[in-house]
Amino acid sequence: MNWLIPSLLVIIPSLFSASYFSGRFRELSVISAAVTLLLALAINLLRIKEADFFLVDSLSRILMLTVSSVYLLSTLFALGYHHNLGESRNMRVHLSMMHIFAASMLFSLAVNNYGLLWIGVEATTITSALLLVIEEDALNVEAAWRYVIIVSAGLAISLISIIMIYDAFGTLEISELIAIHHAMNTTVEIAAATALIGFGTKAGLAPMHGWLPDAHSEAPSEISSMFSGVLLPVALFALYRVYQIAYSPGIEQLFLFFALLTLVVVALLLPSQRFYKRMFAYSTMENMALILIGFVVGGIGYLGAVILLVSHAFGKAGAFYSSGNVLSVFKTKRIDRVTGLRDSMPQTSASLLLSALAVTGSPPFGAFIGEIFIFFAVIRHGFFLAAAVMLVTLLISFSAINMKVGGMVFSGPSETMKNEAGLLQRSVAMVSVGISALVTLLYLLAGGM
């Protein structure tokens, strides 16, 4: 019966996508997300393990809970953020596609087959493409176009990885391949390298990241949150699944190289960012690179990667919700046009500032513990140059983001009268940032190391 709850986890949001046809589509959307979250909680509390059609292990359980939580928060946020769309067709399509998008992510996390995993990740592209164009703005469409074209081209390369895995082993069953300790060969190394390029494109690794800042900055804020908070980690999860069977010293170095390259690219681009949503998008790239490093070095680094992944998901979701609230009042994404937030939007400024601190690894947020663990794991492995690159780039990114956000919050008098976003939107942003800090508490309650 272990298959039942994971099945429901995928089926429930898929079924609720039919809420498009109901007059109560808003309520049904919240019910769908809430039930999905309860199912994910049940999977974690019952510690369900499964290795048949589904593969449910500790990592996929945590990710299922994270995806479901951000899905619920984003659904709630969307109801407030797009209230002007009323009962329109666009709003119905948007919420319906959000359910299918969540279902495709949960499917990717649950399946026990590399081919199906690829299908799941590709399905997230199809289902999320329409989510970017709800406002039908020319910029939205251009960003959606870049997203679909670049990501689908990248994922095509990851399909070579799946072909290579099948050629090498004659099966695509993940649990079976992880269980056997096979000898490393060139075919599997090619599989790992092509997966790095393919799934790495979707996970936002440089230099394949071209779509990411565009899509994140132009998507509605709840979709930016789902992209940054959970979609990219799902792609990283797919990459890690390949890495689990394709480990070799050469592949380890290749993965590390791309992760470090991403950190350097982000550190070079972040200080010159002029748009706050775009800035947070680059911050996501930084965090994904750090998580990848944690997965690659393993041990305490793996633990750090998981903590960072969860903490970042909620912290970044909070950052985008807060950005959405700022955008809805200031009507601009430019950093230099948003001033005096502390006076005009006191609650939003608090959630924005806290979320910026959360995603840049400040204590007491979980990202701080995660980054420390990853850093020490890298040093323990003797990768001193990598540790130095991490240290320098993290300092640059931390300074750039917090100085820019600090400027928006504290600088000068506001040109806008006090005018907060809706209560639901503000609450969702604050709850999301709160959960990001709670990750640390939960970790400490669980007995730390």
CB of residue 330 vs other proteins: minimum separation in angstroms? 15
* Helix/strand/coil for 183: coil
Name the nearest CA neighbour of 427 among 343, 332, 318: 318
Phi, psi of 113 (to 5 degrees): -155, 130
Assess 143 for contact with other proteins (CB under 8 A).
yes
Tokens of 79: 């109801």
Q: Using CB under 8 A, which of the segments 2-10, 83-91, 269-277, 364-372 binds other proteins?
A: 269-277
Assess 119 for contact with other proteins (CB under 8 A).
yes
CB of residue 148 vs other proteins: minimum separation in angstroms? 5
Name the nearest CA neighbour of 422 among 57, 43, 84: 84
DSSP state at residue 137: -
CB of residue 150 vs other proteins: minimum separation in angstroms? 8
CB of residue 116 vs other proteins: minimum separation in angstroms? 7
Which CB atom, from 159 or from 379, has the smaller least distance to other proteins? 159
> Which of 129, 310, 409, 437 is close enough to bind other proteins by CB under 8 A?
129
Assess 214 for contact with other proteins (CB under 8 A).
yes
Q: Tally Cβ neighbours within 10 Å of residue 126.
A: 14
Contact pattern for other proteins over residues 1 through 40, marking x by CB under 8 A? ----------------------------------------
CB of residue 55 vs other proteins: minimum separation in angstroms? 16
Tokens of 268: 């070079």
* Helix/strand/coil for 117: helix
Phi, psi of 84 (to 5 degrees): -65, -20
- The answer to whether the CB of 351 falls within 8 A of the CB of 430 is yes
Assess 152 for contact with other proteins (CB under 8 A).
yes
CA–CA separation, 284 and 295 (whole Å): 16
Assess 105 for contact with other proteins (CB under 8 A).
no
Assess 146 for contact with other proteins (CB under 8 A).
yes
Assess 115 for contact with other proteins (CB under 8 A).
yes
CB of residue 44 vs other proteins: minimum separation in angstroms? 29
Assess 65 for contact with other proteins (CB under 8 A).
no
The single-letter code of the amino acid at 124 is T
- The answer to whether the CB of 203 falls within 8 A of the CB of 239 is yes
Tokens of 161: 């990885």
Helices 423-445 and 346-359 sit at what angle, rounded to 10 degrees? 40
Binding site for other proteins (CB under 8 A): 113, 115-116, 118-119, 122-123, 125-126, 129-130, 133, 136, 138-139, 141-146, 148-149, 152-153, 156, 159-160, 162-164, 166-167, 172, 185-187, 189-190, 213-214, 217-218, 269, 272-275, 278, 333
